[in-house]
Structure 1
Amino acid sequence: MKIVGLSGSKIGNKTRTAMDCALKALKENYPDVDASLIDLAEYEVQFSDGRNYLEYEGDTRYVAQSLMEADALIIGTPVFQASIPATLKNVFDLLPVNAFREKVAAMIVTAGSPKHYLVAEQQLKPILAYMKAQIVQTYVFIEEKDFYRKEIKNDDILYRINRLAEDTVLLTKTYGRLRKEREKQYGF
């Protein structure tokens, strides 16, 4: 099973800190899972211009292809101006409409205010659903007050990140098993 974490911003450190915790939880609790992280701050991703994602080169192709090859995704996003960052939306725009079909997608959202908890519900979940993802319904929302010196200090947040990792693995295994059973019916 291949799980790719995507830290969806080029600036800041809170989302990356949260994503590092999620990847650590995956690696410690599920050593058989191939878990990796793509931090958009470390890549030069071109703006989407409508081409097939395989026609891009360099970092853009690497990011798009890594997401397409994953069985599951954990998407981390900060909230900027009551929305997801343009860098994250651009990555979604690079991919085909059905890019997340038969993939599980989980979410971690960081924000400076509790007022932004609905960004995941009203913006990120609809995009993931449109792209045909099987969405882990409970996401982790982390506020500014939960961080101290680039670390998460709230034990409840750390517990929820571990639970998100567990739910992501469980759903990915379950959907994979169900897909195999369905394919057996067709005799392929």
Structure 2
Amino acid sequence: MKVLFVDGTIIGSKTGAVLDTVEGYIKEKGNEFEIERMNLADYDHQFVDGRPSEQYNADMKEMVRKFEEADAYIIATPIFQGSIPGVLKNAFDMLHPYAMRYKPVSIVANGGTYQHHLVVENQLKPILDYFRCLVTPNFVYTHESHFDQDNRIIDEDVHNRLRELARVFTKYTEMSKDLSTDILDAQ
């Protein structure tokens, strides 16, 4: 099963540090996941403006291909100005509505205030619901106080929640194997 880890920002390193930690916990589960990392910072982004997909550059097409080929996702995002980064929303705007359908997704986010965890509930989850993803119920939100000066997670409660996220994500991937994609083929 292909799992795409999406680092949903072009600046900073905390989301990458959280993804590294989640990856370690997922690997501890002993599953057979093929994990690929997609750092949005590594791509030449174009503003999605409704033109035909073939008119976008190679990097934009590559991002879409990776989303489409993945069987499951861990999406990491910082919260900036009470919102997900525009670059992450722009990436979602490139995707066909069926690209992520019935595929498991877990969310990790980080921000500078404790209240910004609501962005996951009010912005990111509705986008993933539109795609009809199997969103795990236990997203993990981190705050800058959960990291040391080298961006290592130092809060034991955060580690426990990330372990639980990995456990639930693994169960969702098992469940998703039984979902038929025949509906997609018929459309």
Scaled by the length of structure 2, the TM-score of the pair is 0.89
Deviation at 1:55, TM superposition (A): 5.7
What is the root-mean-square deviation of aligned Cα atoms in Å?
1.7
1:51-92 per-residue CA deviation (whole Å, 9 max, x = no partner) reads 455664422122111111111111100000000000100000
> Unaligned stretches of 5+ in structure 2?
183-187
Q: Specify the code of the residue in structure 1 equivalent to 2:93.
A: D
Shift of 1:29: 2.6
Q: Secondary structure at the match of 1:37?
A: strand
Identity %: 35
Distance 1:55 1:72, change over 3 A: farther
The answer to whether the Cα contact below 8 Å between 1:23 and 1:37 also exists between their aligned partners in 2 is no
Amino acid in structure 2 at the alignment position of 1:152 = I
Map of 1:154 onto structure 2: 155
Separation (CA, whole Å) in 1 of partners of 2:177 and 2:137? 18
Alpha-carbon distance, 1:31 to partner: 4.7
Q: Distance in 2 between matches of 1:53 and 1:124?
A: 23
Q: Give secondary structure in 2 for the equivalent of 1:4.
A: strand
Tell me the CA shift for residue 167 of structure 1: 1.3
> What is the match of residue 186 of structure 1?
none
Following the alignment from structure 2 to structure 1, what is the Cα–Cα distance between the partners of residues 35 and 47?
Answer: 26
Q: Which residue of 1 aligns with 2:135?
A: 135
Return 5+ residue gaps in structure 1 as ranges.
Answer: 184-188
Tell whether the 8 Å contact from 1:142 to 1:157 is kept in structure 2 after alignment: yes
- Identify which range, 84-93 or 163-172, moves more after superposition: 163-172
TM-score by length of 1: 0.89
Partner in structure 1 of residue 79 of structure 2? 79
Structure 2 SS opposite 1:59: helix
1:92 corresponds to which letter in structure 2? F
SS in structure 2 of the partner of residue 177 of structure 1: coil
